[in-house]
Amino acid sequence: MSNGRSFYITTPIYYPSDLPHIGHGYTSVAVDALARWHRQAGDDTWMLTGTDEHGQKMLRAAAANGVTPQEWVDRLVQESWFPLLETLDVANDDFIRTTQPRHEERVQQFVQALYDRGYIYAGEYEALYCVGCEEFKPEAEIVDGTGPFEGLKVCAIHSKPLELLQEKNYFFKLSEFQDRLLELYRDEPDFVRPESARNEVISFVRSGLKDLSISRSAFDWGIRVPWDDTHVIYVWVDALLNYATAVGYGTDPEQFARRWPAYHVVGKDILRFHAVIWPAMLMAAGLDVPRGVFAHGWLLVGGEKMSKSKLTGIAPQEITDVFGSDAYRFYFLSAIAFGQDGSFSWEDLSARYQAELANGFGNLASRTVAMIERYFDGVVPPSAETTEADERIQRTVADAAEAADAAMERFRPDEAITAIWTIVDALNGYITENEPWALAKDDGRRARLGTVLYTAAEGLRALAVLLSPIMPAATEKLWVALGADALGRLVDQPLREAGTWGGLRPGGSVNGLAPLFPRVDQS
């Protein structure tokens, strides 16, 4: 059912040494919802995620745990990172690990190509390095330490001392790409989104680019520089290349042509790597730059960026164990404007779960199915003559479906959910106003009762389709309860036609629906 339009979308590849927290989970569910949306709309979709396994951070963590770096990352990926995908119901098409041969070999090939094209040279380097960021820090992110780090220079993000590194390095001529990058941002205004991220990137590039150190010789946990095996490739160069190596760069030209270029969704902390260094590397290699980079905001807990190192970390499973994976996905994607920072609190999650999911959507579904069971023996009634109120629902559904698709195209799942929720609200109001329980007492109004319940059930059909990328499990249950599986599988319902009225066929049977969002006990 592909329409031939390619949609390749990626998450950042995560450092496995950190245990997954809700910040990582946020990026992953956003990318998964966007991918599911496009897949279900018939776009030729590919979703990639994975782990970033080289570098000093990993080497030190392994040593501290008394195992080899390979053993260390193997264990963490198996025990924590694969399970995260299940916990959050993520349907990725591939998972790349930077220690896989398919990646390592192609990274060497890419770096060799840049060397052969004259974009890499050897030089001396001395600068302050943050192992947490795996980055030589720019002036603006170096601050004076306090407390135990008094008198030392520390990283503004990690608040940990920086290390002065002095070594012979290979450099990538990033400075040569300043003009071409500025042209790119000018010609393709959507290359970096949102607007605030775009402005930040433009002013950073305008202020001048320095060449980038792309190798390290002080340790060996990395991919060897092909022409000098005393050096390993800088972990960020290695990591960024995952987006290309995973779709056949250097091995499978057909696959690469079909998928590349990608859309990258990243946290704003790693925007510059993706919107400056990465496109410059691709330009140097003569490859297409990404389709776009979308930077989302940070999850804040108690007002601070959530991170494991600052002890504010919350594991996604703590949330899904209580509320389920659908509620996790819905909450983070609806409560935070995608692109801005957002605060997480258990109180807010719990309140939204109760109001929007249990009382709003879940209750609408339960009572509609229950009334069809009670008044029509579980058979979806036909719609008779329609009134202005029924037609208003039909228009709401059509408008919401269109607005949601437009919002997903803009990478705004939050706005898509707001649009879809107009259907939930309208249907709840419609049922209250039309009082099917009162109509049911009057035999003369049976045709009207049928119209009201058909309208509600057909609205739910549209809701199931539109919400399935956001809440795959609950919508699947609803689909079956509506008897809509006669129309085929939910995931095969064409998303861009979800708003066309009349999909649900009268005469089908509904099946009892257990509460979609049961009451939770949070003791």
Strands 163-172 and 120-130: antiparallel
Which residue in 339, 505, 408, 326 sits closest to 40, CA to CA? 408
The verdict on 23 binding ligand MSP (CB under 6 A) reads: yes
In the set 270, 397, 404, 467, which binds ligand MSP (CB under 6 A)? 270
137 a catalytic residue: no
The number of residues that bind ligand MSP (CB under 6 A) is 21
Tell me the three-class secondary structure of 88-124, residue by residue.
CCCCCCEEEECCCHHHHHHHHHHHHHHHHCCCEEEEE
Q: Does the annotation mark 441 as catalytic? A: no
CA-CA distances (angstroms) from residue 100 to 91, 96, 108, 290, 404? 21, 8, 13, 23, 38
Q: Shortest Cβ contact with ligand MSP: which residue?
A: 23
- Binding string, residues 83-102; x marks residues near ligand MSP by CB under 6 A: --------------------
Contact flag: residue 24 with ligand MSP (CB under 6 A) = yes
Q: Residue 9: which of 219, 351, 291 has the closest Cα?
A: 291
Query: Which string of x and - marks every residue 211-240 that binds ligand MSP (by CB under 6 A)?
Result: ----------------------------xx
The C-alpha angle with vertex 413 and arms to 411 and 414, in degrees rounded to 5, equals 125
Query: Closest separation between CB of residue 311 and ligand MSP, Å?
Result: 13
Sheet holding 292-296, edge to edge: 94-97, 44-51, 6-14, 263-267, 292-296, 192-193
Q: x/- site string to ligand MSP, residues 353 to 372, per CB under 6 A?
A: --------------------
Asked if residue 306 binds ligand MSP (CB under 6 A), the reply is yes
- Does position 498 bind ligand MSP by CB under 6 A? no
* C-beta of 271 vs 404, nearer to ligand MSP: 271
Tell whether residue 305 is a contact of ligand MSP (CB under 6 A).
Answer: yes
Q: Cα–Cα distances in Å, from 359 out to 54, 93, 328, 364, 454?
A: 47, 34, 17, 8, 21
Enclosing H/E stretch for 369: helix 363-376
Helix (H, G, I), strand (E, B) or coil at 264: strand
Determine whether 21 is an active site residue: yes
Partnered with residue 167 across adjacent β-strands are: 125
Is there a catalytic annotation at residue 274?
no
Q: Which of 7, 14, 72, 421 binds ligand MSP (CB under 6 A)?
A: 14
Least Cα distance to 270 among 245, 235, 233 occurs for: 235
The reply to whether 308 belongs to the active site is yes
Phi first, then psi: what are they for 497, rounded to 5°? -110, 10
Scanning 6-14, 220-228, 318-326, 506-514 for contacts with ligand MSP by CB under 6 A, the matching segment is: 6-14
Could you tell me the two tokens for 79?
Answer: 């025990």
The single residue among 299, 365, 408, 498 that binds ligand MSP, judged by CB under 6 A, is 299
Decide if residue 52 touches ligand MSP (CB under 6 A).
yes
Which residue, 80 or 354, has its beta carbon nearer to ligand MSP?
A: 80
Catalytic residue among 153, 160, 173, 305: 305
Active site residues: 21, 24, 130, 133, 155, 158, 305, 308
Binding site for ligand MSP (CB under 6 A): 12-15, 18, 23-24, 26-27, 52, 239-240, 266-267, 269-270, 298-299, 305-307
